[in-house]
Structure 1
Amino acid sequence: MEAGERKHILITFGRSFLTLNLARLLAAAGHRVSVADSLPIAVSRYSKAVTGFHRVSPPKYRPQEYCREIAGIVESEGIDMVIPIHEETDILSMMAGLFPPTCDLFLSDFETEDMLHNKLSFQEALQNMGIPTLKFASIAGPDDIAGLDFDTPFAVKQAYSRGSQRVYKAYPGDTLDQLTFDPTNPWIAQEWMEGDRYCTYSICRDGEMFAHAAYPVSYAIDGSSCLTFEQVEHPGIEAWVRDVVKRTKFTGHIGFDFIDHPERGLHTIEANPRATSGIMMFTPEDRIDRAFFGENEELITPPTGRVRMIGIGMALYGWRKDSLPGNSFRRFLRDFRAADDVIAEKGDMGPAIMLIPAYTNILRNSIKYRVGLAGGFMHDHEWDGHQI
């Protein structure tokens, strides 16, 4: 592919607002965009930015079929680049050999993707690189619980997990009887540290960072799934991400969750080697398509002073007291009116109009897989360490 030429790009996980916003950004830059999803009603399908929709198998339950179907779309549609959005990234990386050399599969090799996705192996990798980490320990079975030596509160979560799943706040001496064990997916106990919390999103190629966004955790569901996004300058975070991306020679998009402690400094909680909400902070004028192809020389960052929100999420959760420390209904109304919605966009209202049918599909997924609404949104695109 020549620099600057119009490309045909396939984005996965079409139900996601991240996919919708990325499709709009790429289409505004002149590229042709298609999307794929295992659900028939996906919000990005109804965007004017999208020229083609492909229904595919659920990657969690039919991974080989999914990868072959994506590779088939690449061949039949002349796709120049595939940009995976969620944890289907790991599955595609295992079967990258299916894709022709003419297609740019925007991800790293499986070993790198897996190391970053696995919350335990990621912390171990940071230690090996000499980067300070929060105190952590592996819990592979009941015997490991008795051996924990934390003297302060700590978080307990599975090595392969995501925001839709519960994180337990535990205390020294807790028996953790609620844990069940999967030999391919151990638990990690990780020091619970207070401080200013930030999330990031970066677009990288061959260990170089071409676009980067950082935003504080403000309105959020259960303190983790952010509902509003505003770019901030944090040189320490930018330098940290550059360093790790370079050392891992990472290609793809990636996000990190950070805590900045006033005395102990910056620590990362986990890595998300896939798209994160930071993609929704960029504007068409930023031309982030250049970052995916490694064409820009200066780092692309979103504009400051602009607040974006997931409007439906804010309406459902943002007014609650637990969505923001010190929240009030008056404050919520003020902030809701000041933010720009990431779904409804003038001249492209199809996705907003189709929200109710789309969420009806997701509700069916929730019932089918016996998970909550948040879990139903992503459950069939998750990967928990089971080899294909």
Structure 2
Amino acid sequence: MTILLTGGRAPCTLELARSFHKGGHRVLVAESARYHLCRVSRAVDRSFLVPAPNADRERFLQVIEDIVTEERVDVLIPTCEEIFFVAKGLERLSRHCKVWCPPSEQLSELHDKWRFAELASSLGLLVPQSRLIQTPQELLALGREDLAQNMVLKPVYSRFASRVLFLNKRDSAVKKEVMLQEIMLQKAAASVSRETPWIAQRRVDGRHLSTYSVAHEGSLLAHAAYPCRYRLGPGATVYFEPVEHKPALEWVSLFVRATGFSGQIAFDFIEEEDGALYALECNPRATSGIHLFSGGRLLEAFLSPDKLRASEVIIAPDRSASMLTAGMLAAAAGNLRSWSALRGWFGALRSGRDVVFRRGDIRPGLEQAGVLLDAWRISRKKGLTLSQATTMDIEWNGEA
């Protein structure tokens, strides 16, 4: 079969490409970034440079449709935020191949942190107590309140834990208000509006846990859970070690069943000491959890979903750990506070499989330098952070 993957910049896309290639399939990749990991991989038969989806959606969709028809693609799998633009052309693309993409309205509801929290709560699932912030005045008013609990504030459309603010209930109202005013003067929150709202949630303390799943018509086909053991700041996890977590499996199963979801879906949770599991956000697309399925078993979920659904078998992850070595090295600074922490970090570094470097396919590892340099140039030119520079051309923030 011919498989078209979009989002070739992501390590999880490279993981999929290698798995499909190993399974005997022809792999194509469409990507709007000049440099990306899949561009030089031996697992990829052809790599296509496509228009930035959030700059020219129609042109992007036309080029994707041309690739699908000319290359006789059987299955199209979006992996990153370009999925929101693929969804806008789901009807036309589905005439030519199987597209692993939920409808646009469902994607929008799950990507919006406020709407997701409201949906999950309506299903009887635990989410932190939340409120919607739609104006700068409402944001400042929150700072004046005598808070009964610590709060977390962030845009309803955000990624990598960027632009997250914390309000401590022990701080005085004056201190909280001054902090928020300073932030607004720095323009970090100046975009708060009815079109670009924020969400304020009770800060939940406990163990961070992430999940990645593939579902078809409301049934789970594959599922993995992993703790956020090593991270880059408050954002991306860089070490992936599977754990059995029945409450997370039950939470995801109920959500997928209640929404009739089909596609890739991931959640971020915090588990309190008493075992209460709170969902913080949903990513209705591929995430790094894919690295826990390196053995190729995940292909059955994408290629034979009806058969797998009928069998009622949920594909489990591999038992081995995976990691982004460069990310682990960068995360080391936050894990050198004691000898035991250092030993644990070294142990994880030695035992984890790097998800980019691969014998017989070393060029993606070398490509990382070019990807980083290109992101650095963009960040300097546009005044963005490195993480923002890596997604600026594919980000979707609720635009029609």
Indicate the TM-score class for this superposition, using the shorter chain for normalisation: over 0.9
How many percent of aligned residue pairs carry the same amino acid? 31
1:61 paired with 2:55, answer yes
Q: In the alignment, which residue of structure 1 is the partner of 2:334? A: 321
Alignment equivalent of 1:214, drawn from 202, 211, 225: 225
Match of 2:69 in 1: 75
Q: Once structures 1 and 2 are overlaid, which stretch shifts more, 141-150 or 349-358? A: 141-150
Counterpart of 1:312? 326
User: After alignment, is 221-230 or 176-185 more displaced?
Assistant: 176-185
| 8 Å contact kept, 1:206–1:250 | yes
Shift in Å, 1:13: 1.1
Among 239, 261, 281, which residue is 1:270 paired with?
Answer: 281
Note the 1:343-358 alignment, pairs <5 A: 343-358=356-371
State the shift of 1:17 in Å. 0.6
2:2 & 2:337 partners in 1: Cα distance?
Answer: 41
Residue pair 2:69, 2:96 contacting (<8 A) in 1 also = no
Q: Does 1:375 align with 2:385?
A: no
CA contact (8 A) 1:20 1:44 kept: yes
Correspondence for 2:186: none
For these two proteins, the number of residue pairs brought into alignment is 378
CA contact (8 A) 1:29 1:287 kept: no
Pairing partner for 2:165 from 145, 150, 168 = 168
Aligned to 1:101: 95
1:183 offset after TM fit, Å?
Answer: 3.2
Superposition TM-score, scaled by structure 1 size: 0.92
Whole-angstrom distance in 2 between the partners of 1:132 and 1:319:
33
Q: Identify if the C-alpha distance between structure 1 residues 108 and 332 changes in structure 2 by more than 3 Å, giving closer, same or farther.
A: same
Q: Which amino acid aligns with 2:211?
A: T
Paired residue for 1:300?
Answer: 315
SS in 1 for 2:348: helix
Q: How many angstroms does 1:328 deviate by?
A: 4.5
Q: What residue identity is the alignment partner of 1:104?
A: K
Superposed displacement of residue 46, structure 1? 1.1
Aligned to 2:246: 235
Q: Which moved more, 1:326-335 or 1:288-297?
A: 326-335
Task: State which drifts further: 173-182 or 205-214.
Answer: 173-182
1:322–1:336: structure 2 CA closer, same or farther, 3 Å change rule?
A: closer
Write out per-residue CA displacement over residues 210-233 of structure 1, whole angstroms, 9 at most, x where no aligned residue: 111100010101133101000000
SS in 2 for 1:354: helix
SS at match of 1:36: strand
SS of residue in 2 equivalent to 1:320: helix
- Listed one character per residue, the Cα deviations across residues 63-102 of structure 1 (whole Å, up to 9, x for unaligned) are 2211221111111111111111111111211222331423
Tell me which moved more, 148-157 or 62-71. 148-157
Matched residue type, 2:56? R
**Conserved in 2, the CA contact under 8 Å of 1:155 and 1:191?**
yes
CA positional deviation for 1:36: 1.1
CA contact (8 A) 2:238 2:328 kept: yes
Q: State the alpha-carbon separation in 1 of the partners of residues 127 and 337 from structure 2.
A: 26
| Alpha-carbon shift at residue 349 of structure 1 (Å) | 0.8
Aligned to 1:185: 196
- Partner of residue 133, structure 1: 127
Relative distance call for 1:149 and 1:33 in structure 2 (3 A) is farther
SS of alignment partner, residue 82 of structure 1 = strand
Residue segments in structure 2 that go unaligned for 5+ positions in a row: 184-188
Query: Residues of 1 paired with 2:396 and 2:335: CA distance?
Result: 29
Give 1:25-64 correspondences, 5 Å limit. 25-64=19-58
